[in-house]
C-alpha cells in the first residue's frame, strides 16, 4: 500500500533532528537557527541558536540540551538561561551534529568529520559521549559521519547511521555508558542514511538524502517498506503521536545552507504507519 505524507508545517529552512517529547514534536530548523515545538495547537519557538541547532535531548529532570553545530558546543537550557555544558571544539574540527541521550542523561554526539559543504572527501571521525557533568569521552572511533541514532527500548543497544559508510551500526551499551561489540545492524547498499527512528518490531525508518524516499529497514538490511518523496529529500524522522504511529519526516530540497536559505522549502511531513515507535523513551 502506497503511503502519501501530508504537510504539517512548511516555510522552514532545513528541519532536522526531530524528537517526540512531552506529547510534542521538537525539532531544529537548523539553518534558520531556531528550535521549535510542534503540537496540535501549532508551532512555537523554543530557542534561538545562532550557530545552528542540531541534536536535541532531555536530562532525567526534563532539562533540555541542544547541540550548537558550528561552534561545536552542547548547550543546556536552564531556568537561569542557556549555558555551555561541553565545548567539543578541542576534540572535533568540523560541525557537531545529531545527539541521542540515554535515561541517565548521557549524550552521544556525532559530527561531520570533514568539510561536507566545501566538497571534501569523507574522513573517519569519532563519536563523543558527554556525561551530565559535562565530561567528554570518546565513545567510538573510525566512524564515517556518525549521524542519526536511537537506543532500543531497554537502553542496551545504540543504533547509529554512518552516512558515508552506507550502513546502520549497532553497539552494546554498558551501565557506565561505554560502547562495545560494534557490528553492522543493516548494510544499505547505495543509500546514504541520515536521521533514523526505531519501531516496535526492531525495524528502522531511515531517511536517505539523494534517494527521494524514506525506507523501513529490518536488521540485516532487508527493506520492508518505502515511502516515495517525489522531488524532495528526507533528512530526519521520528515516530510519535498518541499511539506512536505518526511518522514525522523532515524534508527539504537541498542540504547546503547557501541553497536552503534561498529556497525555504523545508517541511515537516507526516504519515500514518502500521507499527508504533519502539525506541527508548526519555
> Which cell numbers hold the place of 51?
550557530
Tell me which fold the domain 6-272 belongs to.
Neuraminidase (2.120.10)
d(CA 239, CA 241): 7
d(CA 143, CA 160): 10
With beta carbons less than 8 A apart as the criterion, state whether 69 and 51 touch. yes
d(CA 176, CA 43): 37
Domain boundaries, the chain: 6-272
| Residue-level pLDDT at 281 | 77
Q: Which residue has the cell 517529547?
A: 21
d(CA 86, CA 136): 7
Rg (CA), the chain: 17
| Residue-level pLDDT at 1 | 45
Cβ partners under 8 Å of residue 70, min gap 6: 51, 52, 95
| Residue-level pLDDT at 3 | 79
> CA dist 152 to 14, 157, 162, 265, 266, Å?
27, 5, 17, 32, 29
| Residue-level pLDDT at 216 | 98
> Which cell numbers hold the place of 270?
507526516
Spell out the per-residue pLDDT of the chain, length 282, in tens.
457 999 999 999 999 999 999 999 999 999 999 999 999 999 999 999 999 999 999 999 999 999 999 999 999 999 999 999 999 999 999 999 999 999 999 999 999 999 998 889 999 999 999 999 999 999 999 999 999 999 999 999 999 999 999 999 999 999 999 999 999 999 999 999 999 999 999 999 999 999 999 999 999 999 999 999 999 999 999 999 999 999 999 999 999 999 999 999 999 999 999 999 998 877
| Residue-level pLDDT at 37 | 98
Q: Is 13 exposed, middle or buried (0-12, 13-18, 19+ CB in 10 A)?
A: buried
Amino acid at each position: 500500500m502506497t503511503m502519501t505524507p501530508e504537510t504539517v508545517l512548511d516555510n522552514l529552512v532545513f528541519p532536522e533532528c526531530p524528537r517526540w517529547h512531552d506529547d510534542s514534536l521538537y525539532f531544529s530548523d537548523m539553518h534558520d537557527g531556531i528550535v521549535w515545538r510542534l503540537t496540535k495547537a501549532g508551532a512555537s519557538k523554543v530557542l534561538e541558536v545562532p550557530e545552528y541547532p542540531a541534536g536535541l535531548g532531555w536530562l532525567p529532570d526534563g532539562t533540555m540540551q541542544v547541540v550548537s553545530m558550528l561552534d561545536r558546543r552542547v548547550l543546556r537550557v536552564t531556568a537561569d538561561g542557556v549555558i555551555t555544558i561541553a565545548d567539543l571544539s578541542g576534540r572535533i574540527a568540523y560541525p557537531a551534529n545529531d545527539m541521542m541521550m540515554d535515561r541517565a542523561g548521557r549524550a552521544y554526539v556525532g559530527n561531520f568529520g570533514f568539510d561536507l559543504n566545501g566538497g571534501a572527501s569523507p574522513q573517519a571521525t569519532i563519536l563523543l559521549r558527554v556525561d551530565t557533568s559535562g565530561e567528554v569521552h570518546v565513545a567510538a572511533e573510525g566512524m564515517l559521519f556518525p549521524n542519526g541514532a536511537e537506543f532500543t527500548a531497554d537502553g542496551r543497544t545504540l543504533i547509529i547511521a554512518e552516512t558515508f559508510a552506507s550502513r546502520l551500526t549497532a553497539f552494546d551499551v554498558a551501565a557506565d555508558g561505554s560502547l562495545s561489540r560494534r557490528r553492522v545492524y543493516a548494510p544499505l547498499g547505495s543509500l546514504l542514511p541520515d536521521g533514523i527512528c526505531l519501531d516496535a518490531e526492531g525495524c528502522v525508518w531511515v531517511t536517505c538524502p539523494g534517494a527521494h524516499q524514506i525506507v523501513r529497514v529490518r536488521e540485516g538490511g532487508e527493506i520492508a517498506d518505502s515511502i516515495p518523496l517525489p522531488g524532495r529529500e528526507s533528512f530526519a524522522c521520528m515516530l510519535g503521536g498518541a499511539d506512536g504511529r505518526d511518522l514525522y519526516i523532515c524534508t527539504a530540497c537541498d542540504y547546503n545552507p547557501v541553497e536552503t536559505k534561498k529556497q525555504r522549502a523545508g517541511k515537516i511531513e507526516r504519515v500514518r504507519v502500521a507499527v508504533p515507535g519502539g525506541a527508548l523513551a526519555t
